């Protein structure tokens, strides 16, 4: 575990020596910090995959030609070290797993096993609310063209009431009266779930889209984004943007945990709210 952090600190110090003369106020650009900062998720994936053309590699080769960057060095730069939500043990095990000589693991931008979750501010009937929208990359098999598509949404304020009253139902002879009780059931909004099948599953995305279409929801802006990577077997990690001075900044691993396939399926449903 110590090795995991110690190596990273040495790496940071190498970069720091270069930037010490720079004035941080209205002075020169913070080029060293900029080179280290993970500026986009594209750059995160490039570093994770040890891409030979990624900016940090070019920068280090120019400034510190004797320092040979390994893939492990690059992966270490991808963790958030300020109040992390991952353990050093997990980070070390994860790095070893990704770098396994028998089969290194890489991230694929075009994979359908990573997601962006945008926390959005909306107005619902004039009142400020939050909605989580989940997106993923869709690739056309025919043309290879890619685009981000919405695959899930969660607006808790649109949830149906879960209240159950065993006395409320449409009796088994309702058909004989041409479902005369249906009108009363539809007015009984708090107990609507009583009138549904037990295996009914509500689609959060459908509810959000319906509210958007009716004008009840008006989109305002995105307040934050988290990327969720489920693509590495047995592991799940999230990436968030840490905007702060210093070299450990930008899009960094926020959390890292071991997850089985079934746990990932639950995560997809319960955390990312994807309908598929």
Measured from the CB of residue 55, what is the shortest distance to other proteins in angstroms?
Answer: 5
CA distances from 117 to 54, 229, 236, 267, 268 (A): 25, 11, 15, 13, 11
Edge-to-edge order in the sheet of strand 114-124: 146-154, 127-139, 114-124, 217-229, 235-242, 250-258
Contact yes or no for 113/138 (Cβ under 8 A) = no
Q: Which residues pair with 235 in a beta bridge?
A: 258
Measured from the CB of residue 181, what is the shortest distance to other proteins in angstroms?
Answer: 49
Measured from the CB of residue 203, what is the shortest distance to other proteins in angstroms?
Answer: 25
Measured from the CB of residue 140, what is the shortest distance to other proteins in angstroms?
Answer: 7
| Crossing angle (nearest 10°) for helices 2-19 and 55-63 | 60
Nearer to other proteins, 81 or 157 (CB): 81
Measured from the CB of residue 61, what is the shortest distance to other proteins in angstroms?
Answer: 8
Nearer to other proteins, 26 or 176 (CB): 26
Measured from the CB of residue 154, what is the shortest distance to other proteins in angstroms?
Answer: 24
Alpha-carbon gap, residue 181 to 169, rounded angstroms: 9
Residues that bind other proteins (CB under 8 A): 24-26, 29-31, 33-35, 37, 39-40, 42-43, 46, 53, 55, 58-59, 61-62, 108-110, 139-147, 221, 241, 243-245, 250
Nearer to other proteins, 152 or 250 (CB): 250
SS3 content of the chain, % helix, strand, coil (to 5): 35, 25, 40
Nearer to other proteins, 1 or 121 (CB): 121
Nearer to other proteins, 190 or 222 (CB): 222
Nearer to other proteins, 25 or 276 (CB): 25
DSSP 48-106: HTT-TT-HHHHHHHHH-TT----HHHHHHTTB--SS-BS-HHHHHHHHHHHT-TTS---
């Amino acid at each position: 575990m110590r090795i995991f952090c110690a190596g990273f600190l040495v790496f940071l110090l190498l970069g720091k020596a270069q930037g010490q003369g720079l004035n941080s106020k209205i002075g020169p650009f913070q080029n060293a910090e900029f080179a280290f900062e993970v500026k986009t998720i594209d750059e995160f994936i490039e570093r994770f995959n040890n891409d030979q053309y990624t900016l940090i590699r070019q920068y280090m080769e120019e400034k510190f030609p004797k320092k040979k960057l390994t893939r492990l060095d690059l992966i270490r730069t991808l963790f958030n070290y300020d109040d992390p939500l991952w353990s050093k043990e997990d980070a070390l095990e994860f790095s070893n797993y990704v770098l396994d000589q028998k089969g290194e693991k890489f991230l694929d931008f075009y994979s359908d096993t990573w997601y962006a979750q945008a926390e959005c501010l909306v107005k619902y009937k004039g009142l400020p609310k939050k909605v989580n929208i989940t997106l993923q990359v869709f690739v056309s098999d025919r043309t290879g063209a890619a685009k981000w598509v919405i695959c899930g949404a969660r607006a808790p304020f649109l949830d149906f009431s879960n209240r159950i009253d065993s006395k409320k139902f449409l009796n088994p002879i309702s058909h004989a009266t041409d479902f005369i009780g249906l009108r009363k059931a539809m007015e009984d909004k708090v107990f609507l779930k009583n009138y549904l099948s037990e295996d009914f599953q509500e689609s959060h995305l459908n509810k959000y889209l319906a509210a958007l279409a009716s004008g009840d929801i008006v989109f305002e802006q995105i307040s934050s984004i988290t990327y969720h990577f489920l693509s590495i077997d047995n592991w799940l990690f999230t990436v968030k943007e840490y905007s702060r001075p210093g070299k450990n900044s930008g899009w960094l691993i926020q959390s890292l945990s071991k997850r089985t396939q079934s746990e990932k399926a639950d995560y997809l449903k319960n955390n990312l709210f994807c309908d598929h």
